[in-house]
Amino acid sequence: MIQDKKIASFIFGQEIDEETFQHVEAFDQFINIKYKKLIVETVPTYHMVTVFFNKEIAQDQSLLTDIIYKWKKFEIQLQSSKSRRVTIPVCYDALFALDLERVAEELNLTTEQVIKKHSEPTYKVYLIGFLPGFPYLGGLNKELFVPRLDKPRKSVEKGSVGIGGRQTGIYPVTSPGGWNIIGKTPIDLFDVNRNPAFLLQPGDQITFKSISIDDFYNVKENVEKNPQYILNLIDTKI
């Protein structure tokens, strides 16, 4: 546990795995139920929950001791909470896949094998961070583990799908970045003009669907005409 005057972080592990995340989900639900009046918000990540306490509450060791004591007595159901299923269309065409050929060569695979191994799993959103709406996904095939770029790019286009170390993720906005870019999605993960603005949330189950470059521009056109179109991806497949 890490704490300061009005913030405490409860840590449940260091690795991205299902059991750790289930503890995170359970603790986040527990503290929001048991201590609702004492906190402003909680921020769960893949391995810990950060708790922001009310300014009026004089956070002291007795409060933290009480939280830990009651948490240990709380019956933990180590089962994933009901999660949404979201299908993300991805175009792996060379126009967008800036690093796909190099990654395939480094991993001694064909580009087709990389695409297949990347789009086959069901991923879990362990946290949203780094950028507004950026999902850190667990479940990447071990055969696709590849180091991040030695020299990050100054600009990576929004929608770019990348691999970095043991994870895969999607850039929600254009920004600098050091992940290996292997494709691009035509949908916006973050849009202030959409309700909700964030497409994904921790706990979501994600699948990638490989699409052609023509399909990419068709979906992109639909999204531009109607931002709410993206919500059709939740609990459905396109």
What pairing do the DSSP bridges indicate for beta strands 160-164 and 167-170? antiparallel
Residue 192 lies in a domain: yes
pLDDT, average across residues 6-25:
79
**Residues 16 and 100 reside in one and the same domain:** no
Position 106 confidence tier, pLDDT thresholds 50, 70, 90: very high
Q: Is residue 80 part of a domain?
A: no
Percentage, residues of the chain above pLDDT 90: 43
Do 95 and 197 reside in the same domain of the chain? yes
Asked if residue 203 and residue 99 are part of one domain, the reply reads yes
Same domain, 161 and 209: yes
Query: Do 217 and 147 sit in the same domain of this protein?
Result: yes
Mean residue pLDDT of the chain comes to: 85
CATH assignment of the domain containing 141: 2.40.100.10
Q: Looking at the 3D structure of the chain, how many domains does it have?
A: 2
Where is pLDDT greater, at 97 or 75?
97
Based on the domain organization, do 35 and 106 belong to the same domain? no
Question: With 60 as the cut, is the pLDDT of residue 76 above it?
Answer: no
* 198 domain residue, yes or no: yes
Would you state the pLDDT for residue 168? 93
Residue 78 in any domain: the answer is no
pLDDT confidence of 92, banded at 50, 70, 90?
Answer: very high
Task: Indicate the pLDDT class of residue 93, thresholds 50, 70 and 90.
Answer: very high
DSSP of 24-45: HHHHHHHHHHHSGGGEEEEEE-
pTM of the model: 0.71
Q: Is residue 49 part of a domain?
A: yes
Instruction: Give the structural domain span for 50.
Output: 2-73
Q: Please report whether residue 112 resides in a domain.
A: yes
In a domain, 57, yes or no: yes
Q: What is the pLDDT of residue 159?
A: 96
- Confidence bin at 221 (pLDDT 50/70/90): very high
69 and 141 inside one domain: no
Of the chain, the percentage scoring pLDDT greater than 70 comes to 89
What is the predicted pLDDT for the residue at 194? 81
Q: Is the domain of 63 the same as that of 105?
A: no
Query: Could you read off the pLDDT of 123-142 as tens digits, one per residue?
Result: 988 777 777 888 888 889 99
| Domain shared by 20 and 118, yes or no | no
**Domain match, 57 and 94 both:** no
Looking at the fold, whether 141 and 210 belong to one and the same domain comes out as: yes
Q: How confident is the model at residue 78 (pLDDT cuts 50, 70, 90)?
A: very low
Match 């009005």 to its residue by tokens.
Answer: 6
Q: How far is CA 103 from CA 73, 111, 141, 222, in A?
A: 48, 8, 14, 31
Q: Is 79 helix (H, G, I), strand (E, B) or coil?
A: coil
pLDDT of residue 1: 52
Of 27, 44, 73, the domain-final residue: 73
156 domain residue, yes or no: yes
- For residues 93 and 136, the model is more confident at 93
Sequence-separated (6 or more) residues with CB below 8 Å from residue 112:
none
Q: Which of 40, 73, 106 is the last residue of a domain?
A: 73
pLDDT given for residue 56 in this prediction: 61
Boundary residue ending a domain (73, 102, 130)? 73
User: In this structure, what is the dihedral angle of CA atoms 67, 70, 72, 74, given to the nearest 10 degrees?
Assistant: -130
Are the C-beta atoms of 231 and 87 separated by less than 8 Å? no
**165 vs 234: CA distance, rounded Å:** 27
Residue predicted with more confidence, 184 or 48: 184
* pLDDT average, residue stretch 62-88: 74
- 210 and 104 in a common domain: yes
CATH number, domain with residue 54: 3.30.1360.40
